[in-house]
Structure 1
Amino acid sequence: MADTPMCRARQSRGNRTVLPFPNVMTRLRVNEYHVLHLFDTPKSFPIVITLASELWLILVDKQREEKKKKPRKIQPKPTTNGVTNSREKITERESRDLRDSRDSRESRESRESRESRESRESRDSREIRELRESRDEIEVEIRDRRGQTSSPVPRERERDRDREREREREMRDERREQSTPQHDGRHPLLQFAVDHFRQSPELEILKADSSLKSKAKRNEWTWKAQTDVVKWQATPLRAPLLRLPAALAPPALECFTCVRAYCGDLQPAERAMHQDMTEVKCVYTVLMHCHSVPELRDEVYCQLMKQTTSNRSATQDSCQRAWRLMSILASYFTCSDTLRPFLVEYLSAAAADRRRPCQGTAAVCLANFRKTLRCGGRKNVPSVEEVTAVSAGRSARRQLYRLPGGAERVVNTRCATVVQDIVNELCELIGVTSEAERAEFSLYCIVAGDALTMPLAGDEYVLDVTTELQRAHHPFYLIFCRSVWHHPLRADAPPLYTEVLFNQVAPDYLEGLLLVLPGGNAPAAGVLRDAALVAALLHRAAGLPDAPHPRDLKFLLPKPLLALREPRPAKWASWVSAEWPTVRTVTPAAAKSKVLQVLSRWPLFGSSFFAVRRVGGAGEWREHVLALNRRGVHLLHPATHDTDAHWPYAELISTRKVRSEDGTLFLDVKCGSLLQQRVTRLQAEQAHEVARLIRQYIALQRDQRDQRLDTAFSSQ
């Protein structure tokens, strides 16, 4: 066989016949002039022959498929010698049965081969399209070589090819829309609604029906109806968005009515029915339902996401108010694990889009929701003033916080602000940036008439505390103090840092809590000199330019020193006057810093003091002063402050709070080693605070020890 393109095409196709090129020309409707020009180029002739052969084979295959589709007609056999053919004797009923069986067999075969035929037709159409494109490229190449300026390809063919591509693109987009959308992050609520929303009755009927007709309708189903479910809605819901039990449908629909009423989207007829539905009542109703029925939280979140999506309300601030209501809800409740990633993604996308007018409120919603995930959410319903402020767009409230010494600072407090946020902001104000050092500061709530004070927990919401006290009409104030003194004083601290610590230490010093009187006698000479120097510094810290008068000494010296017989007041006056020239020129701020430096050398500096009772050897209770500082736990004599018992934190094993039948609170302190342990029971009204401070000191020392070990290992 000759080595020609036609022969190679025949070898590649087996025994199938390749018709001559003129027939292919006729099938392709190629211009005669065009073909003659193709033959003028010897290099293009083998390519044209091969392409035409391949195309003709495809056309032959299509003709065979069309012949298979056509039903075969049964021709009666001719009769001879007056004998009737056997098929003519078939009754009408048998003929009908035969025809029905043939039709059913053909329909079954057609159904079985429909998928394979469609795939084969798509493959053939793709091959034809590729052949046409290759042919056009060859023609363009021939035209360029011959220097032609006009295109031999008819413009109608180009337009047909463009229309065919556009039609294929539309079909591809339609198939993509009909397929299930993946989690691409652009439409989180729509993706959640596909699997978890209650579908429309028409779609539910189509899903339940398994007939071919319903499948065809399902294939024609578009996502327009689904997207309408997740968009803003002006009318009431007929059923909850989620698949909730029937018993939860009324409260879910009531929540949606409250959402629409809060946003101002009620119809005139609905406004007449709900005239008493104020914005405060709407918020309280939604929070009440979400608190009593946790299953409704996802429903309300979905309703709010729906009302903030494509909001077309006639009310100008409808979308903004929906976001504000979501910010209130996000500071109280979380959602299910199923909805959480979609909700966080929805809030993150809205908070990151600067084109949205509600970007700031969306960022507040996201921050409130994350705070709720970490701290558990608020516990008390908001006050009327808080709801009114949030509804008006004022998300922050100006709250006063006191510092030691009576100074006040205003900090903007939001719905989701917790105690640790306030502590961090005030620490930043006084220049404390270390996370470990910030843990030594606390926020206390001082209530009028309450002798006991406890620091507020770090994850407690500030507005929960203030709202509860305001409703009870209890006067109170919030004060920022240092509760643990583990880290040393900072030499490069700003003036406000020194002011805060000085105003906290000075009252304890003047009360004599830092002073130790061995056996009830006068302290050592060094302590007396320090007391005289501190007295002069306190006088200068008050901003007084003249030397202190002897009658001022009762305000400058600790009370236990003034009660001693020796030294006499005249002696104290001379000692303080001798120290005055050295401190007269210093500034009040420097004088306060010097006081802290002098007192930091005393053993009880930085201690927290508690009045406790301890059982003695004879079974009787003895009064003690419990001092907690960085050196450990000290049981002191109430008058002289002599140490009766001391336990380093390394020897403390555990603490346990016990309440007796009469309500007395005790604290059991277990100390010792693994081989020998001892439990000391202390009666303390502030046992909770004592146990908290002991745990905090132990944790700080453990962290410091681990840090030293890490440093030692790294150096080695």
Structure 2
Amino acid sequence: MEQIRSSRQNGYAKEMESSDKRLNSSKSQAITNGDAHNNNHHHPASESGRDGCSSWVESRIDHVDDNRSDITQSSNINDGKFSLLQFALYNFRDVVDKYELIRSADGSFSGSIKLLESLKSKKKNKKKNGSGSDWTWRELSDLVKFSKAPITNSLLKLSPPELNKIAIECFASIMRFMGDLPLLKNQTEVDCVYTILVNCYQWPQLRDEVYCQLMKQTTNNKSARLDSCQRGWRLFSIVAAYFDCSENLRPYLHKFLETSAYDKRRAYYATAMVCLQNLRKTMKYGGRKNVPSIEEIAAIAAGRNSKRQMYRLPGGTERIINTKSSTVVSDIIEEICSMLNVNNPVEMQEFSLYCIIDGDLYTMPLNREEYILDVTTELLKNGQTFYLIFCRSVWYYPLRLDCQLYIEVIFNQVAPDYLEGLLLITPGERLKENQVSDISRIAALLHRAANMDHEPTKDEVKYLLPKPILPMKEIRPPQWVEMVQSNWNDMGALTTTEAKAQCLDILQKWPLFGSCFFAIRHIQADSPNHPDYILALNKEGAHFLDILTHETIWDYPFDQIISTRKIRAEDEALFLDMKCGNLMTYKITRIQTDQAHEISRLIRQYIDIQNSDKGERGQQVSTISRNANSNYSS
């Protein structure tokens, strides 16, 4: 059966047969194979030919919305809690070994207060006597300050002990990247970054160690290299985009970054803010999974933290958006939605970002938590041509015709399905009178939407009508030409955008508007013949349509769909089981389709949006009720 296009895709691609074919490799494969990236890197010029734009720029630092005012931030920063020095007192190898602090059951350290008092008194005594054989406060504080020489032991006690050597290697890589230690023969700054990332992935217990090393080398940096501290902060931002830290270190690491990021008097507060943003993204989304490209590392090392990445909209419109190392798919969806005047977070869930790979028949939308540069770096490394395409995948909320770009996007998704005849319902393969009127006017509007100023000719009219219309015998082609031309007199005063908006306004009243269509075969256990249907998913539920007339044979509202399950047969045929009804009484409908993954995903997406919308409306009603009661009481 001829492949049916889904309206969300605008003819760009079809669903992927299996999510296992997704472009993103796993974290273990990507990071442990970091050296391969170095050998197989594509020159930036070739990247530009594939993704349209590969230049990196220095972007402004976005405000971090953490619901705190500058005054609150300042007071919290200076509260004396969770300093790196405090963490060193409790955890650094040299301090723990020297003073043998004992951790109690509640996590506190016995002897820590005495230690602080002892150090302070020794500091005073040393000033008086001019000597002292034990540690001073200054010597302890030096443990958390920049070091001109490589360390001889890890800062933290690591297990197994063999990690001590790897920790020393990581510190040397940090120093080499910062320019405080010469690079080895044939070594590059990219190799230094890969060494750190690969080791941190392979040994999670090293992550706290590396973060402590970075904090140390960016604290009171007295390097002879003028850009040492700056490069240290930039390396910090790369690591923060990949790895979280332990619960033990987290408050100290956050405090360190916040202290630097929120104090604009500090030289590198802007880069510290990038580090803080990256770390928060890592905590929320799990961190980057593929090692960065040579281009990305070189750009970040030079202070360019955003890539000018091209995104396509239905109809071929392009938007270039500055994409950071920590940018995830949901960030791009949110930014493009704001261009469309879509600001409701629940309504934003209707939109998706697809990665269309040249030569692939099927595709799936990118996971909203995927990092954009993980996706593009992997594809560029493999030399694949691809497009990142934003479109509407779910049609739950009504149209908004108050934004020109929104009208363009929706029109360019709907028009192809309309012209294919997918939106038509023709009982007895005949048109109703109101359909004839709508189709005639839409044809004239489509002609004007194409920026045509002349009356549509006979040859042009046939391309303005849905494909199934012309073979119908009840209305002959000359009659269609006459009806379309009679509607043309109203078109002269319309702009192309107004013509598109009027098309959408007419079509949104049709029952199948906003549907995604899939070719399926209903598998019936009690019948040797398995009829072909069209499955239409829209906000009303799942509809099984007659393949010719598009009349609904049967349907299931989403609140009756309990679950879906994908099954692969021995002959590689793909099936989808839909359990419908309720937990007490249900029926399983089995369909055969190559698009089982996308059907299952869309059903889940519709159900999630419906539940989110109900929850949002419930909160609004509750708020109105509370306000009313408050006004009544007063």
Letter in 1 for 2:363: T
Counterpart residue identity of residue 610, structure 1: F
Q: 2:155 aligns with which of 241, 246, 249?
A: 241
Q: 2:503 aligns with which of 586, 592, 595?
A: 595
Query: Is 2:447 the partner of 1:539?
Result: yes
**1:573 alignment partner, SS class:** helix
Number of equivalent positions: 523
Query: Which of 66, 85, 88 is the matching residue for 1:193?
Result: 88
Please state how far the C-alpha of 1:224 moved relative to its aligned partner. 1.0
The answer as to whether partners of 2:564 and 2:578 remain within 8 angstroms in 1 is yes
Equivalent residue number for residue 541 of structure 2:
632
Q: Secondary structure at the match of 2:153?
A: coil
Q: Secondary structure at 1:561's aligned position in 2?
A: coil
What is the Cα deviation at residue 709 of structure 1? Answer: 5.7
Counterpart among 130, 137, 141 of residue 227 in structure 1: 141
1:547 to 1:658, Cα distance in 2 relative to 1, 3 A: same
Question: Over residues 575-610 of structure 1, what are the superposed CA-to-partner deviations in whole Å (9 max), with x where a residue is unaligned?
Answer: 101111122221111100000000001111001111
Q: Deviations over 1:341-382 (max 9, x none)?
A: 100110011001111111110000000000000000011111
Indicate how the Cα distance of structure 1 residues 206 and 488 shifts in structure 2: closer, same or farther if over 3 A, else same. closer
Give the whole-Å Cα distance in 2 for the aligned partners of 1:612 and 1:427. Answer: 32
What is the alpha-carbon distance in structure 1 between the residues aligned to residue 116 and residue 396 of structure 2?
73
Q: Which structure: larger Rg?
A: 1
Q: Kindly tell me: are residues 432 and 707 of structure 1, through their superposed partners in 2, closer, same or farther at Cα, counting changes over 3 Å?
A: closer
Q: Does 1:669 align with 2:584?
A: no
- 8 Å contact kept, 2:82–2:255: no
> What secondary structure is seen at the aligned counterpart in 1 of 2:231?
helix
Q: Give the drift of 1:416.
A: 0.3
| Mapped pair 1:259 → 2:174 | yes
Q: Structure 1 regions of 5+ residues with no counterpart?
A: 1-181
Q: Is the contact made by 2:515 and 2:536 (CA closer than 8 Å) also made in structure 1?
A: yes
The change in CA–CA distance for 1:216 and 1:297 in structure 2 (over 3 A counts) is closer
Q: How far apart are 1:659 and its partner, in Å?
A: 2.5
1:566/1:303 CA distance change after superposition, 3 Å: same
Question: Does the CA-based 8 Å contact 1:232-1:306 persist in structure 2?
Answer: yes
Alignment partner of 1:453 is 2:329: no
Q: Report if aligned partners of 2:346, 2:612 keep a CA contact under 8 Å in 1.
A: no
Deviation, 1:431, is 1.1
1:675–1:243 distance in 2 versus 1, CA, 3 Å: closer
Q: Return the match for 1:682 from 591, 595, 604.
A: 591
Structure 2 CA distance, aligned partners of 1:255 and 1:474?
33
For residues 414-425 of structure 1, the aligned pairs below 5 Å read: 414-425=324-335
What does residue 557 of structure 1 align with? 465
| Distance apart, 1:545 and its partner CA | 1.0
Query: Pick from 518, 522, 542: which aligns with 1:610?
Result: 518
Say if 1:261 and 1:277, in contact at 8 Å, map to a contact too. Answer: no
Q: Could you tell me which residue of structure 1 aligns to residue 314 of structure 2?
A: 404
Bigger shift: residues 681-690 or 289-298 = 681-690
Q: Give, in angstroms, the shift of residue 565 of structure 1.
A: 2.3
Structure 1's 550 and 258: CA in aligned 2 closer, same or farther, altered over 3 A?
same
Q: CA deviation at 1:517?
A: 2.1
Task: Report how far residue 706 of structure 1 moved.
Answer: 4.8
TM-score normalised to structure 1 length? 0.70
- CA distance 1:570–1:351, shift in 2 (3 Å): same
Deviation at 1:646, TM superposition (A): 0.8
| Post-superposition offset of 1:556 | 0.6
Alignment partner for residue 380 of structure 1, among 267, 280, 290? Answer: 290
Over the matched positions of the two proteins, sequence identity in percent amounts to 50
Q: Which residue of 1 is the match for residue 554 of structure 2?
A: 645
- Give the equivalent residue in structure 2 for 1:299: 209
Please say which of residues 256-265 and 554-563 is displaced more in the overlay. Answer: 554-563
Compute the displacement of 1:242 (Å). Answer: 0.3
SS in 2 for 1:249: helix
TM-superposed CA distance for 1:688, in Å, is 2.1
Q: Say whether residues 1:203 and 2:98 are aligned partners.
A: yes
Q: Check conservation: 1:431, 1:497, Cα contact below 8 A.
A: yes
The equivalent position to 1:497 in structure 2, one of 406, 409, 416, is 406
Q: Matches of 2:542 and 2:501 in 1, distance apart?
A: 27
Q: Structure 1: how far apart are the matches of 2:116 and 2:321?
A: 62
CA distance in 2: counterparts of 1:345 and 1:712, whole angstroms? 39
Gap runs ≥5 in structure 2: 1-76, 103-110, 123-134, 630-634
Please report how far the alpha carbon of residue 695 of structure 1 lies from its aligned counterpart in structure 2 after TM superposition.
Answer: 1.6
The residue that corresponds to 2:420 in the other structure is 511
- Distance in 1, matches of 2:592 and 2:586, equals 20
Trace 1:133-532 onto structure 2 (pairs within 5 A).
Answer: 184-185=79-80, 188-199=83-94, 203=98, 220=122, 221-245=135-159, 246-266=161-181, 271=183, 274-491=184-401, 493-519=402-428, 521-532=429-440
How far apart are the structure 2 equivalents of 1:430 and 1:694?
24
Task: Return the TM-score normalized by structure 2.
Answer: 0.79
How far apart in 2 are the matches of 1:622 and 1:401? 40
Taking a change above 3 Å as real, the CA distance of residues 513 and 299 of structure 1, as seen in their structure-2 partners, is same
Q: Against the structure 1 CA distance between its residues 200 and 484, is the aligned structure 2 distance closer, same or farther, given a 3 Å change threshold? A: closer
2:314 alignment partner, SS class: coil
More displaced stretch, 351-360 vs 639-648: 639-648
Q: Deviation at 1:703?
A: 3.8
Tell me how far 1:223 sits from its aligned partner.
1.4
Q: CA RMSD in A?
A: 2.4
Shift of 1:205: 8.7
Distance 1:578 1:585 in 2: 15
Q: Partners of 1:666 and 1:657 in 2: how far apart? A: 6
Between the two structures, name the one with larger relative contact order (CA 8 Å, sep ≥ 6).
2
1:578 to 1:499, Cα distance in 2 relative to 1, 3 A: same
Q: Which structure shows the bigger proportion of residues in helix conformation?
A: 1
Corresponding letter in the other structure for 2:464: L
For the 8 Å contact 2:89–2:96, the answer to whether it is kept is no
294-303 or 623-632: which moved more?
623-632
Contact kept in structure 1, 2:88 and 2:95, CA below 8 Å: no
Q: Relative to structure 1, is the Cα distance of residues 337 and 186 closer, same or farther in structure 2, using a 3 angstrom cutoff? A: closer
Equivalent pair of 1:262/1:282 in contact (CA under 8 Å) = yes
Instruction: Give the counterpart letter for 2:86 in structure 1.
Output: Q
Whether 1:655 aligns to 2:587 is no
Q: 1:260 to 1:579 in 2, by over 3 A?
A: same
> AA paired with 1:396?
S
Residue 568 of structure 1, aligned match among 467, 472, 476? 476
3-state SS in 1 of match to 2:589: strand
CA distance in 1, matches of 2:190, 2:620: 57
* Partner AA of 1:592 in structure 2: K
Q: Distance in 1 between matches of 2:97 and 2:313?
A: 66
**1:206 touches 1:217 (CA, 8 Å); kept in 2?**
no
SS in 2 for 1:335: coil
User: Separation in 2 of the partners of 1:206 and 1:431?
Assistant: 58
Q: State the AA in 2 paired with 1:537.
A: L
CA distance in 1, matches of 2:621, 2:200: 54
Distance 1:333 1:206 in 2: 29
Instruction: Give the 3 Å change call, closer, same or farther, for CA 317–625 of structure 1 in structure 2.
Output: same
